[in-house]
Amino acid sequence: MWEGEANVEFVEKDVREASLKPTEGRVKSLRPFAMQSLSRKGPVFADHNSIYSKEARPDDISFPSTRFYGSKRRQLTWLREEFKSLEGVTALDAFGGTGAVSHLLRDLGWETTYNDIFEFNIISARTLFSDSTHRLSEDTLLKFLNRVRPTEGFITATFEGLYFTTQENMWLDGFMACLPSELEKNRDLLLHCLFQACLKKRPFNLFHRANLNLRHSEMPVQFGNRSTWNKSFDTHILTTYREVQLAQTARAQSIQVTSGLCAGKIAPGFDLVYLDPPYFKRAKRNTETYLERYHFLEGLARYDEWPSLIDQNSSLRAIKRPYRLEWTNKQELLVNLQHMIKKHSGAKFALSYVADEEPTEEELFNLFRENFDRVRLSRRSFNRVLSKKRPFEILLIGQ
């Protein structure tokens, strides 16, 4: 399959349309791109027989549910199929996010290193890839929650009328006031559960707009539900705790978690580097950054510093710039990718992105062809929340 100086394999799979036939649908739209590539460099292998469709199904890899935009949790079965034939020992998940792919790589036997630029993700990763629920029992968690008393503090004074009700803001202040009295080894787990509770109580699970009015509106809900929004923080925290506990029951070897580095500053030495960078929408001049979407969680993660991080000119009380800005410029994404490939020369690379966005699929494909002898392009269609379109997720693997 990989014969020749520069080999490319195309695999396109649709998990939405069970009626799609091997010679119909999006194969036709992919063919001109394949032929154009063929004329520039080396032979192209287009595996049309393996282009099939199947119904979406629950993933068979145990990992706690998350409410983050762009999470790969629903794609783990597909990614497992793509990664299982790769050889090597050490793997880097450079934009770790929820940690779902790190979890998968560990499950496949890789000695995995998780990295992310944001503190709230680092805290969650330290929670998920440890024995945190063994150190903090459910009974101890409930006793902690019972000690929380609503109080007027920084959150109440700063975020009135934005993301949560006044009473909920006071409860958050009470939670954060109790946290320092808890053992340091238990704080990560408590914060991770709080992060997930905050997301569940938010319309759209984001903080890029206030949207508190949607919780009080009588209009039909198009995303999320009022029952979830109106459940207490305690209830959501307990649910998340139990999910983490279940995932840790079958935990294999641990995953190394960095201190939170810029991806470009991570030292080389890995056999596989997986990249899931921010996506940039082609139709928009500016795409909301992850910091804009989750600044509230980052504030909770850096609670003592939060007052000094606030942009006082922001109506949303977002974190001011510059703050850990990484890969936030669409014009620089290809340059950043090239830098990573050169820095980790000799490593296999896997890149997740979305088709029909910027940079284009063809630009990303050409970047891989210029840097690797063997390239595999796999595409699958997944329904995405907050989107009326059904875009193809793409996975490029270069060796």
End-to-end CA distance of the chain: 13
The residue with tokens 């996975």 is 395
Report the relative pairing of strands 7-14 and 45-46 from DSSP bridges. parallel
d(CA 339, CA 334): 9
**pTM of this prediction exceeds 0.85:** no
Instruction: Quote the tokens at residue 392.
Output: 């193809």
| Structural domains of the chain sorted by starting position, each given as residue range(s) with its CATH number in brackets | 7-125+254-289+325-398 (3.40.50.150), 130-249 (no CATH)
Instruction: Quote the tokens at residue 109.
Output: 């036997």
The residue with tokens 């609503």 is 150
User: Closest Cα to residue 187, out of 197, 178, 196?
Assistant: 178
| Tally of residues, the chain | 399
Sequential pLDDT tens for the chain (399 residues): 333 344 666 666 543 322 222 223 333 334 334 333 332 343 333 332 232 222 333 344 566 666 666 667 778 889 999 999 999 999 999 999 999 999 999 999 999 999 999 999 999 999 999 888 888 999 999 999 999 999 999 999 999 999 999 999 999 999 999 999 998 889 999 999 999 999 999 888 788 888 887 777 766 655 557 788 889 999 999 999 999 988 886 555 679 999 999 999 999 999 999 999 988 877 666 667 888 899 999 999 999 999 999 999 999 999 998 777 678 777 889 999 999 999 999 999 999 998 888 889 999 999 999 999 999 999 988 665 555 566 789 999 999
Contacts of 136 (CB under 8 A, 6+ apart): 186, 189, 190
